[in-house]
Chains A and B, each alone.
Chain A
Amino acid sequence: MTAIKNQMKLSFMSIPENVPLARVTVAAFASQLDFTLEDLEEIRVAVSEAVSNCIIHGYKNDPNYTVSIICTVFEDVLEISIEDQGVGIEDVSQAMQAAFSTESDRMGLGFTFMQSFMDKLNVESSLNKGTKVTMVKRPLDVAAAALEES
């Protein structure tokens, strides 16, 4: 088990105005690792997508619920977990397909961006219990060095 170097927890009401708060706060926390500006922009997009999903899909735009984020630094890796206690996803693999959206005028690209911009993405969901998205990213030079070693 890798030791935790730093951790942050953030909980907020499920209103759209908290989406920018979430992405800015997580990016600020992430900046303690050696991420490039492009990496930090990717983290901002991934967090924005995950939190928007909690509000739109998990809680069906009901503001009276809570979205929780835990960010953890393990050595040189950032793990972000974003959780709601909403309706859950019936079919996670279908939801993760590009261009699938249950809402019109949305692109169904949320999970695609999370997958493209983060190194790992894991989605756990139970109907009427909620959804937890866990994303992992490590700075590029660290990732390259690890690849060379293997």
Chain B
Amino acid sequence: MIKLSFSNNKKTTIVRVAGELDLVAADQFRNEIDAAMEKNCSDNIIMNLNGVRFIDSSGLGVILGRYKKIKMRGGKMALVSAPVQVKRILELSGVLNIASSYETEDEALQAM
């Protein structure tokens, strides 16, 4: 199970993710983010991954899918405070080559 909490700053949706981003969580992760972005008419998303204890390619697939969707609309995606083991998987997958990574939400917000 994952827990997602959302807040909005102008055209940016901020999602704080806690739990394990795997096959069990993938549909909830995808659907809740898409719904929140649609509700706020957001262009950009900041994913705070501080509470993520595990990620595999099912979780990465959802992140990449959101990136493609946002990019098509000319928006930006940033990843914030991923724990070491999660950051390693993000690096290996090449996600960090396309999405920027920041230490804090404020830094990410300034880059939006």
Contact = CB atoms under 8 A, between A and B. Distances in A.
A19 B56 CA distance: 11
A103 B92 CA distance: 21
Contact of B61 (A17, A38, A105): A105
A52 B56 contact: yes
B89 A106 contact: no
A41 B85 contact: yes
Interface string B40-57: 000000000000001011
Contact of A107 (B24, B30, B61, B85): B61
Contacts of B62: 105
A130 interface: no
Contacts of A45: 54, 56, 89
Interface stretch (A5-13, A79-87, A109-117, A119-127): A109-117
Interface in B50-81: 54, 56-58, 60-62, 64-65
Nearest to A37: B85
Contacts of B30: 105
A56 B24 CA distance: 12
Contacts, number: 54
The dominant DSSP class at the B interface is helix
Contacts of B64: 105, 107
Contact of B24 (A20, A44, A49, A116): A20
A16 interface: yes
B20 A110 contact: no
Given A41-B85, A45-B89, A52 B61 contact: no
Contacts of B104: none
Contact of A113 (B20, B22, B23, B56): B56
Most buried by A among B24, B56, B64, B92: B56
A55 interface: yes
Interface in A30-68: 38, 41, 44-45, 48-49, 52, 55-56
B24 A16 contact: yes
Contact of A55 (B23, B56, B85, B89): B23
Contacts of B54: 23, 44-45, 48
B23 A107 contact: no
Interface of A: 16-17, 19-20, 23, 38, 41, 44-45, 48-49, 52, 55-56, 105-110, 113, 116
9 contacts: A16-B22, A45-B56, A49-B56, A105-B61, A105-B62, A107-B60, A110-B57, A113-B56, A113-B92
